[in-house]
Structure 1
């Protein structure tokens, strides 16, 4: 079952509990301000190099890949040497992908509802002032 995607940005001190964890570990979601559990499914470093679950450690390595994370559009039987990261979260990891197991209550703010209503009720712009300015410019 697929759901809604949410992005949370954490400061360095808030992200420290994730350092040292591996892909597949369960984490308490209170570290990001949610209630429930999260499962780490992947991530990438500052250069966009993806993490791979079958590579141990947190270092970057060139690996011979035939399919999976870090390799797109390989033909049948083709193998390509690509740069990937290990499955351990380190200080160099900038993005962590997680699957959230819990409920998220999405509340509509009254301000958003007011903006939608006011946009429907707003009168159309009057272009007569523009036409007058253009007319004056032609006369001069």
Structure 2
């Protein structure tokens, strides 16, 4: 059973996090980074483009590593390597570009604008009660 946390960003820079469980998450299994899928999975109309993600232990997905396995890759720049000097290379653990059940977080780009969700009255009342205490 697959469980994913989807981080969806729109063209204006706004992002929303959604959680998909069990049968809702199945349409994403087997897709690769860069593929587009229907946004009806999360209740939106349009397309979602998969841009990245990480597994349960925080190992990032990389577009040029094929498959779903974890591999040690020699990197000189890009995703997963921070603050590399000129000419420096490091061998780092990376996850492949295919979404599998081991993936925990999936980053997506929505082709439209995310709807503005106003906070419900119950959520506003809970916040004011917490501040009073």
Give the TM-score category using the shorter length. 0.7 to 0.9
Match of 2:73, SS? strand
TM-score (norm 1): 0.76
* TM superposition shift of 1:110: 6.7
RMSD: 2.1
Q: Which of structures 1 and 2 has the bigger CA Rg?
A: 1
* Count of aligned pairs: 117
Match of 1:44, SS? strand
Write 1 or 2 for the structure with the bigger share of helix.
1
- Residue ranges of structure 1 left out of the alignment (5+ in a row): 120-124, 126-140
Tell me the distance in 2 between the aligned counterparts of 1:60 and 1:107: 37
Q: Assess if the C-alpha contact under 8 Å between 2:14 and 2:114 holds in 1.
A: no
List, as ranges, runs of 4+ consecutive aligned residues in structure 1 with deviation greater than 4 Å.
Answer: none
Tell me the distance in 2 between the aligned counterparts of 1:103 and 1:14: 22
Tell me the distance in 2 between the aligned counterparts of 1:110 and 1:84: 40
TM-score (norm 2): 0.80
